[in-house]
Structure 1
Amino acid sequence: MLPTNSCSSPTMSSPELKKVTVSLPKRLDRSSERWHHYLTIDLIWYVLGYTLFHPWTSWILVLCLRAQYTKYHAPEMKIAMAWAMLMSAIGIFHIFSERLAFGSPREVDLSDEVIVITGGVDGLGGLLAETYGMRNANVAVLDTKRVDDEEAEEKGVLYYQCDVSDAKQVEAVAAEIVEDLGPPTILINNAGIAHTKSILDTTAEEVEQTFRTNTLSHFTTLRIFLPYMLREGRGTIVTVSSVLGHLGAANLSAYSASKAALLALHHSLRAELAQNPAAQEIKTILVTPGQMSTKMFVGVTTPSNFLAPVISPAEIAKSLIRMIEKGDSGELAVPLYAQYIQILGALPVGMQAIIRRWSGVDTAIAKAGLVKKDTSEKQ
């Protein structure tokens, strides 16, 4: 008889299993927001862009009508065909317009690119750095905040403690980046600070600091990193501005002015690159986001979540990464109202005043309790 292995019976005495209480991370908890909180004009526009306003979907409707033996002279067939031709014409015009303005896209292979991100520890820059790091890209981050070597190795990112407002520090770090990773080919100018004070309470030092970090640092990084791109014959330069560069806002005068300067800098950069034969494969992207859910403006809300939703850095990062890797130039303005904010300046001044009051752009910082007072003597 073959020997049989005896198994312990469940009723037999055995050590009790240790009970472990598990709690889901807070981010996985069910949101307390109602369903309509997530219904925004951006979502509706996105869905329409892939359905009613998409040329392919429009022609599918025509084919469906023909499958039902609808006559070509029938009113519904005429309307469907007219709509499909209109959407196709708009789509073709958009393609030609983009190609005329920005030229052909360049080829991007992440294994051959060296990505430099300023202000890449937190917020949008941090998300971009970590995303590229997970994809084994060559990423160098310039930030005043220090990151432990263990954390940097885990994220696959090289962090250089550097104040981008100091040209000498940037020059020194640039030499290290070239030695460690190679010539930079993608520059994401993202570093920024804000002093939430009125003009009267803002000191000269704070204004200078804001412009050095938000604006002058772009001139510094361009002067240092652009020559490498010209020698490589390829590159992408991302300028992160803000919708406040078009609007301005109370208690954010220095921040708004520094971001407005970046709009002019971007267009000037594009004009100069267009005149340089060696810069044909250097692409430029202007990012003008609306209210983001970052630490810089925590607690700031918009008057209408439907028309002006607060966007997450992930939404911007996803679209920006797509543009960079497609090798495109262009402008990235989100949410939807940011794409048409310049129309506000063409409206009658009275209507502009009404819209500003309704939007709460000039009271948002105060309502969030972020306004800081300075009782020291002004310079």
Structure 2
Amino acid sequence: MTPNQAAEQRFKEPFTFDKCARILDKVPFSTPFLLILPLLTYLYDRKATSPTELVASLKHLSDLPRSEALALVKGLIFTQYKWVGYSVSFILIKTVNRILNRYIRNHGEWRRDPLDYSKDVVVITGGSQGIGAEIVKLLSKEKRATIAVLDFSLPTYPLKQLGGGRPDILHFKVDVSNPEMVKEAGAKIRESTRGKRIGCLINCAGIASGDTILDVDLSVATKVWKVNTLANWVTCQEFLPDLIRNNHGHVITVSSSGAYASLPSMSEYSTSKAGALAFHECLAIELRTRYNARRVRTTVVCPTKVRTAMGDGMEDHLDPFLTPVLEPIQVAQKVVWSLDSGLSQHLLIPLFANILPYLRVLPDHFRRLVAVLGNTDNQVTKKSMRRALNNGYGKGWEGENKEIYERKKKILLAGDL
């Protein structure tokens, strides 16, 4: 067993706000409780405890005219036991919101359309390390998927199908912002997977820098934008026609919470990820209005800090209960879940991050309050970026990327904290 496999087996999600919310989302705030809570309230009010009393109470309710039964239950939950009425109202609003979001995100195509891993090839950029590597391992081990990895870094796992029974994982050493290299890789993927179709594109590649605006190396900023933003056009122009042709598949864009809430010393990264978010939104609209491919699903994933080599460039959040540092496997599980759902998703992780889009419309003093409470002004510093570089971020880069890495490291190690 490799150290990575051992770490995966040892991983156990800590007790956080997200874990509490998932439990409450099932009991008592799931859709079935729109009926269960009023019924339990009625039985409680009649003090029905034994099986005989329960049956008699239910028979009494069913024997009443419908209008009387509804009036009785309504009076119980909205007058006598108001907390039940509040809970039912909350569940109803939550259910309607979920239904409307599902309808709009999927262009009115209500039926799920998950991947068929025996037929669909998954193409993933940035699949050699971090979140991308965990996605590859999950899809390989649990789904027996055929996977093509596009990444200029070598993978941190063996290029053997982790689940067995399928061809080896395909890896192409590619700069995903280079159209010629991506086009060449696309041809090789189709040749190597004859009899199957391109069914999924996961744009997970991402790099960061960590400079203040006046210190930004423009060549680094250009590279960050190419990988984090431009690559979305490059890969979609190569693989999206396959999905449109079949009116089937899934495009997943891994953006960042930084797309909604920028941090000091993160101008390159935040603007590039905001661009990726806007790309996702345009893609979804064009699939509906331009390409008539309403069953091609689009998902965006916006995590906060993830415990990766790149994530080392940020300090940990102050409150691990509300805003825990995410493990790569947690984000990977969400990505695979979205594929299995067969629906378009908008994922802000952890749950508390769902407050971030509202920072764009709420007063500036609210945004400042969030920054003070989260100490976000000091989340990315030269010290934290030095730590990321010293812990291995960028060491596997080659060519032009390696030159950028070496120049960046030299500047950081020579500068003041």
Q: Which runs of 5+ in 1 are unaligned?
A: 1-24, 32-36
Match of 2:183 in 1: 171
| Partner SS, residue 142 of structure 1 | strand
Superimposed CA distance per residue, residues 310-351 of structure 1 (whole angstroms, 9 cap, x where no aligned partner): 111222222221221221012011111221201122232233
Q: What is the rounded CA distance, in whole Å, between the counterparts of 1:344 and 1:93 in structure 2?
A: 20
- CA 1:85–1:249 in structure 2 vs 1: closer, same or farther (change >3 Å)? closer
Of 363, 366, 372, the residue aligned with 2:381 is 366
Q: Which segment drifts farther, 74-83 or 165-174?
A: 74-83
Q: Which segment drifts farther, 278-287 or 89-98?
A: 89-98
Q: What is the rounded CA distance, in whole Å, between the counterparts of 1:247 and 1:48 in structure 2?
A: 28
Q: What is the rounded CA distance, in whole Å, between the counterparts of 1:287 and 1:307 in structure 2?
A: 18
The Cα shift of 1:185 comes to: 1.5
Amino acid at match of 2:201: L
Paired residues for 1:28-177 under 5 Å: 38-57=14-33, 59-68=35-44, 69-70=46-47, 76=80, 80=84, 83-84=87-88, 87-88=91-92, 90-102=94-106, 103=108, 104=110, 105-134=112-141, 135-147=143-155, 151-155=158-162, 156-177=168-189
Of 289, 304, 309, the residue aligned with 1:295 is 309
Amino acid at match of 1:99: Y
- CA 1:364–1:295 in structure 2 vs 1: closer, same or farther (change >3 Å)? same
Q: Are the aligned partners of 1:52 and 1:58 in contact in 2 as well (CA < 8 Å)? A: no
- CA 1:29–1:333 in structure 2 vs 1: closer, same or farther (change >3 Å)? closer
How many pairs align? Answer: 346
Q: Are the aligned partners of 2:244 and 2:291 in contact in 1 as well (CA < 8 Å)? A: no
The Cα shift of 1:268 comes to: 1.0
Q: Which segment drifts farther, 299-308 or 161-170?
A: 299-308
Amino acid at match of 2:18: D
Amino acid at match of 1:348: P
Match of 1:3 in 2: none
Q: What is the rounded CA distance, in whole Å, between the counterparts of 1:30 and 1:154 in structure 2?
A: 22
Paired residues for 1:1-379 under 5 Å: 38-57=14-33, 59-68=35-44, 69-70=46-47, 76=80, 80=84, 83-84=87-88, 87-88=91-92, 90-102=94-106, 103=108, 104=110, 105-134=112-141, 135-147=143-155, 151-155=158-162, 156-181=168-193, 182-276=196-290, 278-298=292-312, 300-366=315-381, 369-370=384-385, 374=411
TM-score normalised to structure 2 length: 0.75
Superimposed CA distance per residue, residues 274-321 of structure 1 (whole angstroms, 9 cap, x where no aligned partner): 113541221100111111111112262012112211111222222221
- Could you tell me the percent identity over the aligned residues? 27
Amino acid at match of 2:333: K
Match of 2:62 in 1: none
Q: What is the rounded CA distance, in whole Å, between the counterparts of 1:27 and 1:325 in structure 2?
A: 21
Q: Which segment drifts farther, 155-164 or 254-263?
A: 155-164
Q: Which runs of 5+ in 2 are unaligned?
A: 1-5, 48-71, 163-167, 387-408
Q: What is the rounded CA distance, in whole Å, between the counterparts of 2:155 and 2:86 in structure 1?
A: 58
| Partner SS, residue 191 of structure 1 | coil
Amino acid at match of 1:143: D
Superimposed CA distance per residue, residues 116-141 of structure 1 (whole angstroms, 9 cap, x where no aligned partner): 00000111111111111123211100
Question: What is the root-mean-square deviation of aligned Cα atoms in Å?
Answer: 2.8
Match of 2:399 in 1: none
Q: Which segment drifts farther, 77-86 or 49-58?
A: 77-86
The Cα shift of 1:78 comes to: 6.6
Q: What is the rounded CA distance, in whole Å, between the counterparts of 1:245 and 1:39 in structure 2?
A: 27
The Cα shift of 1:107 comes to: 4.3
The Cα shift of 1:146 comes to: 2.7
- CA 1:94–1:370 in structure 2 vs 1: closer, same or farther (change >3 Å)? same
Match of 1:14 in 2: none
- CA 1:271–1:100 in structure 2 vs 1: closer, same or farther (change >3 Å)? closer
Higher helix residue share = 2
Q: Are the aligned partners of 1:124 and 1:314 in contact in 2 as well (CA < 8 Å)? A: yes
- CA 1:167–1:290 in structure 2 vs 1: closer, same or farther (change >3 Å)? same
Q: Are the aligned partners of 2:175 and 2:182 in contact in 1 as well (CA < 8 Å)? A: yes
- CA 1:367–1:101 in structure 2 vs 1: closer, same or farther (change >3 Å)? same
Amino acid at match of 2:104: L
Amino acid at match of 1:166: N
TM-score normalised to structure 1 length: 0.82
Amino acid at match of 2:222: E
Q: What is the rounded CA distance, in whole Å, between the counterparts of 1:153 and 1:210 in structure 2?
A: 30
Look at both structures and tell me which one has the larger radius of gyration over its CA atoms. Answer: 1
Q: What is the rounded CA distance, in whole Å, between the counterparts of 2:173 and 2:80 in structure 1?
A: 64
Amino acid at match of 1:146: L
Q: Are the aligned partners of 2:120 and 2:198 in contact in 1 as well (CA < 8 Å)? A: yes
Q: What is the rounded CA distance, in whole Å, between the counterparts of 2:229 and 2:10 in structure 1?
A: 40
